[in-house]
Structure 1
């Protein structure tokens, strides 16, 4: 089967937009979610990432509701997903560091002498 020479026909454009429709625009909350998620992931091991990561997750929910209500005129879903993943990574790292600190504390407590330690010449 061969194709005829000449330009390839394009798909017909979708229905024309109404002149009063706003232009699609990236959500500023999506950018903020990504930035807060990145900060949360970078500082998650030091427990400083809990606050920005939690804020990112709360802001992501608001951004997702606004994007749904806008009917497709607010974009930035990819940035939103990346920010949420980074925020969850930051929270996971913070939880891991808390568990490691607890294990270290329990091991050190178990190695410490229990009770009062008297001198060898005391009965």
Structure 2
């Protein structure tokens, strides 16, 4: 059976065994996406570090569970988006920390060094 001239034939799928579970979206993928979104939104305020690390740890667990399920757990796209948002949150937090460090160094360089005594003190 072919779908159109010039295309590869479509492989017939074997009938499913009645005791096979139905494919379902993994619940951890929603959590990873939500935590990644929170991390990306609060990354500039340095609050995105915690949800981003939790999202990345959950994504590792979700990938392991999806691999072990043999294809019955779905949601790889949501998992990938959540990971990308978590990394974005971490990068924004790192940028904010570097910017704060630069501002602190510039302010420290502009401050007078040592104690400034009055003119009548030897």
TM-score higher than 0.5: yes
- Which secondary structure state, in structure 2, belongs to the residue aligned with residue 43 of structure 1? helix
C-alpha separation in 2, matches of 1:11 and 1:48: 49
C-alpha separation in 1, matches of 2:61 and 2:33: 14
Give the TM-score taking structure 2 as reference length.
0.89
Partner of 2:92: 93
After the TM superposition, which parts of structure 1 deviate over 2 Å for at least 4 consecutive aligned residues?
A: 10-13, 120-123
Q: How is 1:34-113 mapped onto 2 (pairs within 5 angstroms)? A: 34-113=33-112
Q: Do structure 1's residue 29 and structure 2's residue 28 form an aligned pair?
A: yes
Partner of 1:119: 118
C-alpha separation in 1, matches of 2:94 and 2:10: 51
Give how far 1:118 is off. Answer: 1.1
Equivalent residue pairs, number: 114
Cα RMSD of the aligned pairs, angstroms, is 1.2
For the structure 1 residues 20 and 105, does the alpha-carbon distance in structure 2 shift closer, same or farther, using more than 3 Å as the test? same
* Bigger radius of gyration among the two: 1
Ranges in structure 2 where 5+ consecutive residues have no aligned partner: 1-8
